[in-house]
Amino acid sequence: MTILDGKKVSNDIKNEIATEVEKMKQRGEKVPHLAAIIVGNDGASKTYVNSKVKACERVGFESSLFRMSSTISEIELLDKIEELNQNDDIDGFIVQLPLPPQIDTQKVLNAVDPDKDVDGFHPTNFGKMALDMTTFIPATPFGILELLERYDIPTKGKHTVVIGRSYIVGRPMSILMGRSGFPGNSTVTLTHEFTKNITQITSQADIIIIAVGIPDFLKGEMIKDDAVIIDVGITRVPDDSTEKGYIIKGDVDFENVSKRASYITPVPGGVGPMTVSMLLKNTLLARERHRLRKKEK
């Protein structure tokens, strides 16, 4: 069994991006600029956004963080998004989810300029991804593809089962794993909360990608020997025996599943670190696109 070390691969990618940024500086080019909007005081969101700011520093990007009150109106937030859309200095930006109940999340995501949508959530980018056109791939699925590629895990002709159908992970993964090329060319089954006889399906899978947010959902008896397991889940489970009062768990019963798997991502240290690195990679792509567009004009 091989551990898919997202932390190591993520560091490799950051080093590659830092090298690229250094070359840009030497050529006298503008370095990429990533911005983030965070609304309210959600603890997990703050941690995640702070890790993005640190990652930007590490690779030599410029970064901006805009903190908004949890009582902000939808109109005020949309105005801020439009301001960033119009700011030529910013190459890409994200609106950290979740958003407060008074705000329509889809309306907000639709307001982001597709050319700056480095999260890959805008319908334009999602549609391009589905049509196999060049676009921003959502950061977590992009990270999973990168892990499969760097560990040279065969996907052609394999049966991939995706558990979870969110537009952030499950649905894009089901499209990407079935596309032409590598990683891809696999036969995909997309499962969710209403899927009957799920064990019957998972036990036939060569590759399982799970993102349901239910700790230990995938058990050892649900997989076949030598399956490849990608665990996207990350849940804080209360545990009084630890200093923090909780432990981090994935959607996979790691102890038992790892005994049968050929490759598996740990939680933490698997898919999580990859997400931030791929967001940086998308921002680098955005900067290059904007530079070429300006050159054409």
Active site residues: 52, 96, 119
Nearest partner of 264 among 148, 173, 158, judged by Cα: 148
**Cα separations (Å) of 263 from 70, 111, 232, 292?**
41, 39, 14, 40
User: Rounded to whole angstroms, how far apart are CA atoms 187 and 170?
Assistant: 15
User: Rounded to whole angstroms, how far apart are CA atoms 111 and 233?
Assistant: 28
Token readout for 35 is 């911005």
Angle at 124 between CA 122 and CA 129, to 5 degrees: 95
User: Rounded to whole angstroms, how far apart are CA atoms 48 and 286?
Assistant: 21
208 annotated ligand binder:
no
Token readout for 85 is 């859309």
Give the number of residues written for the chain. 297
127 annotated ligand binder:
no
270 annotated ligand binder:
no
Strands 33-39 and 246-249: unpaired
User: Rounded to whole angstroms, how far apart are CA atoms 152 and 2?
Assistant: 12
236 annotated ligand binder:
no
Host H or E run for residue 66: strand 62-68
Nearest partner of 38 among 127, 118, 98, judged by Cα: 98
| Lookup result for tokens 């590490």 | 58
Beta strand extents in 76-178 (DSSP E only): 92-95, 159-163
Q: Which residues are annotated as a binding site for NADP(+)?
A: 164-166, 234
